[in-house]
Structure 1
Amino acid sequence: MSGIVLTAYPGSILGPVAKFLGWIMNGIYNGISSITGGRVESVVLSIVIVTIIIYMCLLPLTIKQQKFSKLSQKMQPEMQAIQAKYKNKKDQASMMAMQQETQMLYDKYGISPMGSCVQLIIQMPILLALYRVFYNIPAYLDGVKGSFTNLVTQIQSTSGYTDTLGELMSKFNFTTSSGLTSSNVVDKLSNASGDTLSNYIIDILYKLPSKGWDALLDGKYFDGLQSSVESTHNALQHFNYFLGLNISDTPWYIIKNNFFAKDKPEMWLLIGILALLIPVLSYLTQLLNIKLMPQASNGNDQMANQMKTMNMLMPLMSFFICFTVPVGLGIYWISSAVVRGLQQFFVNKHIENLDLEEVMKKNQEKAKKKREKRGISEDYIRQAANIRTKSIDAKANISASADNEDKLAKAQSMKSNAKAGSLASKANMVKDFNERNSRK
């Protein structure tokens, strides 16, 4: 890996994870090539295999998360009962008692309020790092990077190559994974040297769209290097194409340049349709994932509506974004969605067959042992809950009596201080007259 890390994602958190996953993918790529005697060198196949491996490793976390979701649904009625019991009670004793009963409920079902978050915290860096690997393949697959070495050396020996590469990027308007654009490429190449310079040029060649390679083959750029360009392009077609699609191109670029091609229109139309299928399949597989996921019912209509909206928007976002990212990333999204869908189908079957009462019993035993380690007994918890509940009721009664006495005192004060001629003073006169007559 030491020879290819310079083009790798440099992030302090995701960078090391991406390098490790890239090392796995590099081993898969080289292993497939070795087993097939060099006949199969496929980036797409490596993407699919490493995606399957990663999601199989994450399967225990997925099952744990689904158990959490199922138990959370089962405990919702009891949670809502606790919330109703302490509704509108904002004093400290009530808040503490509610917190205590809520914690006892979580212990009863053996789950944690942060349970689902922990699973996501573990999974997200892995999946995001995997995304970085697929976005910058030559940084992690030495076989892919090595295919460009000879051409890169010859380009560097060409006079004015930095301006030629700048013109090439400006003509075909693309950005590399190392941040090179048509506006900064000349400056960055001029200030780079050694491996960094070579890696920059490899990034440009790998992200170069199909029409750009056609221009190189025609000698419009770097005339005299056609032999090396052809050799590199043949290798690129061997490992970087899937059903006629260059996985470095975006679906939108392929559609825009192939649907209305004048030469061989039938072939280019077919390639354009295949490119369109990438975002369509991404949308459908994401939708399938959402259908298979268990839907939480927590009694909160607003939250349920928000989740429903998110479930509608996420596949649509995947559909539109997929037009603008390389085909290789689209294939990753599709393959990962298919793998997750298959996993979810079997996980759902597993969860349906679980004896939740037995799971709860085991979880309660675990929670009891943890409390005992902290020196908290079961009797103490029950007594504390009862004392706090009685304390709350007593304080509520005292508070109500005090409120009534305050109201009576205020009424008496207003009565004795009524102004002459007011309705209150006239009412007092009538009351006094009635009282005197009643004593006669």
Structure 2
Amino acid sequence: MMLSAQLLAASTEPTSGGWYDTVLFPFKWVTAWVLVGIHRGLTTLGLPEGPGITWVLSIVVLTIFVRLLIIPLFIKQIKSTRGMSAIQPEIKKIQEKYKGRNDQVSKQQMSQETMNLYKQYGVNPMASCFPLLIQLPILAALYRVLWQMPLIASQPGAHIGGFDSTLAAEMDKSTVFGVYLSDTFTNTASNPTTTKILIIVSVLLYAGLMFFQQFINMKHNMNTSNAQQMRMMKMMVYLMPLMTAWFGFIVQIGVLVYLVVTMVVSFIQQIFVMYYLPTPGSTAHDAQMRRHQVKYDSFKEETLAEYNQKLMDLGLSGEDVAKALRLEVKATRKGEDDPFSGIENGEKLREGLALHKETQDHLHKKAQDLELEEKPKKPVKQSKMMAALQKQARQQAGMQPGVRNAQAQPKRLTRAQRDAQAKRRRAAGQLSEEEKAKRRQARRNNNAGKKGNQNR
């Protein structure tokens, strides 16, 4: 029984940070196993085992793996940010509509209209937070894993995830420029001066990369028409590096490696975004449009050359195609089905016109793909509730879907009068033709009597 208790104690973590470690336990377990797995993969490729560069590279690969994992969320964040920028005028209209109305009903209506606007344009205001929400638990887990490496290494049988005391000792003794991965600015097992210098350089590198990335984004990938957004971005460019720099002085060297590599990868992603997914209205977007215009001009030149060659093979010219277009327009006006029947060389004209239309369609589609022409917008889907309400209103008015109400109700009638007329129309729909004829004759006689009385 004592042996079982000892084994149970050895299978648990050596220390606990209370609720913090309890909440982070799943992330720590996954992070530890991923690090061990990456290390095994690198050693299989021929990198050295034991303490050394392989464990440092394991953190680098972990960082790249996390960044690749959140690429879909990163792209969604970009699209959502663009959408939020595009609908700002509509949001302002809603805010002006409810300005000064602080009652609960008005607040709910304003919130509902805003949410409907988000849904209509496919925008999620929280999308910009998703990449950060994924990275924060991993960053915190890596911090706690590195913090526990010396403790696990000193207790045979202890473990965290895939780390046992042997692997923990290897990672704990791995260094970056002579500084252990688990060293911090205030707590170091290596040379204190070297540790502090390395941490300061790493923090400056991290903050500098963040500033440079945000500055380039503001300079080349921001829509300058939104003055409020530009002011906010300018403030964030200078404040964010300062706000995050202090973090580097409380975490380990291993976490700083993760942060610096994250900023390097993030900077590369930003360059990719500026080139392929720039913000409309920015200088980067203008540059993309110029590149797209060059691509379109080259495509158009090749397509027209191929088109003219096919026309020559048919024995046709541009004038023949223009003639075919005029014949088609003329036949359409007259309601004729075949504009080329009975015309000399009619079949070739038909082929030449079809080739012309196909070529124009290809050019039009290419222009749309390169965003030189706006694609047709998809109709907004109607909500089920709104469709049901409209259907109910048509049924109450005795109307069929898609049928124009020829007897539209004048606004001067009361509701009781409109209900009475609707009831008579529904009843009229159930009368026989003979009864309908009698009622029409009775109305004529009644109208004639009214006119006779007016003449007297």
Deviations 1:298-339 (A, max 9, x none): 9685x8766655543332243333234322221111111111
Q: Does 1:328 align with 2:338?
A: no
Contact 1:131/1:329 (CA < 8 Å) preserved in 2?
Answer: yes
Alignment partner of 1:60: what SS? helix
1:50-89 equivalence runs, <5 A = 50-89=62-101
Contact 1:292/1:341 (CA < 8 Å) preserved in 2?
Answer: no
Deviates more, 1:46-55 or 1:13-22: 13-22
Instruction: Give the corresponding residue for 2:214.
Output: 290
Contact 1:251/1:278 (CA < 8 Å) preserved in 2?
Answer: no
Deviation at 1:57, TM superposition (A): 0.5
Contact 1:73/1:298 (CA < 8 Å) preserved in 2?
Answer: no
Code of the aligned partner of 1:249: D
Could you tell me how far apart the structure 2 residues matched to 1:79 and 1:340 are?
31
Contact 1:47/1:134 (CA < 8 Å) preserved in 2?
Answer: no
Contact 1:8/1:136 (CA < 8 Å) preserved in 2?
Answer: yes
Q: Does 1:318 align with 2:328?
A: no
Deviates more, 1:3-12 or 1:57-66: 3-12
Q: Does 1:24 align with 2:31?
A: no
Deviations 1:135-165 (A, max 9, x none): 44468xxxxx6xx57xx67xxxxxxxxxxxx
Could you tell me how far apart the structure 2 residues matched to 1:360 and 1:15 are?
50
Change in Cα spacing, 1:57 to 1:358, as seen in structure 2 (3 Å) is farther
- Structure number with the bigger relative contact order (C-alpha 8 A, sep ≥ 6) is 1
Could you tell me how far apart the structure 2 residues matched to 1:30 and 1:287 are?
36
Could you tell me how far apart the structure 2 residues matched to 1:97 and 1:28 are?
52
Change in Cα spacing, 1:28 to 1:34, as seen in structure 2 (3 Å) is same
Could you tell me how far apart the structure 2 residues matched to 1:69 and 1:275 are?
34
Q: Does 1:347 align with 2:273?
A: yes
1:162-177 equivalence runs, <5 A = none
Contact 1:254/1:275 (CA < 8 Å) preserved in 2?
Answer: no
Q: Does 1:281 align with 2:205?
A: yes
Deviations 1:387-428 (A, max 9, x none): xxxxxxxxxxxxxxxxxxxxxxxxxxxxxxxxxxxxxxxxxx
1:220-369 equivalence runs, <5 A = 240-251=174-185, 259=193, 273-291=197-215, 308-352=234-278, 361=377, 368=381
1:209-228 equivalence runs, <5 A = none
Instruction: Give the corresponding residue for 2:21.
Output: 11
Alignment partner of 2:270: what SS? helix
Code of the aligned partner of 2:119: D
Code of the aligned partner of 1:286: M
Code of the aligned partner of 1:79: I
Alignment partner of 2:210: what SS? helix
Deviation at 1:124, TM superposition (A): 3.7
Instruction: Give the corresponding residue for 2:316.
Output: none
Deviations 1:211-268 (A, max 9, x none): xxxxxxxxxxxxxxxxxxxxx7xx679x611222222222466799565xxxxxxxx6
Instruction: Give the corresponding residue for 1:36.
Output: 46
Count of aligned positions:
282
Contact 2:183/2:253 (CA < 8 Å) preserved in 1?
Answer: yes
Instruction: Give the corresponding residue for 1:46.
Output: 58
Change in Cα spacing, 1:360 to 1:241, as seen in structure 2 (3 Å) is farther
Query: Alignment identity in percent?
Result: 31
Could you tell me how far apart the structure 1 residues matched to 2:244 and 2:102 are?
44
Alignment partner of 1:13: what SS? helix
Deviation at 1:24, TM superposition (A): 1.2
Contact 1:255/1:275 (CA < 8 Å) preserved in 2?
Answer: no
Change in Cα spacing, 1:325 to 1:106, as seen in structure 2 (3 Å) is closer
Code of the aligned partner of 1:6: E
Task: Quote the RMSD (CA, aligned, Å).
Answer: 4.6
Change in Cα spacing, 1:93 to 1:321, as seen in structure 2 (3 Å) is closer
Q: Does 1:125 align with 2:137?
A: yes
- Larger Rg, first or second structure (1 or 2): 2
**Unmatched tracts of structure 2, length 5 or more:** 1-7, 279-287, 289-369, 394-456
**Unmatched tracts of structure 1, length 5 or more:** 140-144, 154-193, 207-231, 260-267, 384-440
Alignment partner of 2:77: what SS? helix
Code of the aligned partner of 1:71: G
Contact 2:84/2:125 (CA < 8 Å) preserved in 1?
Answer: no
Deviation at 1:25, TM superposition (A): 1.2
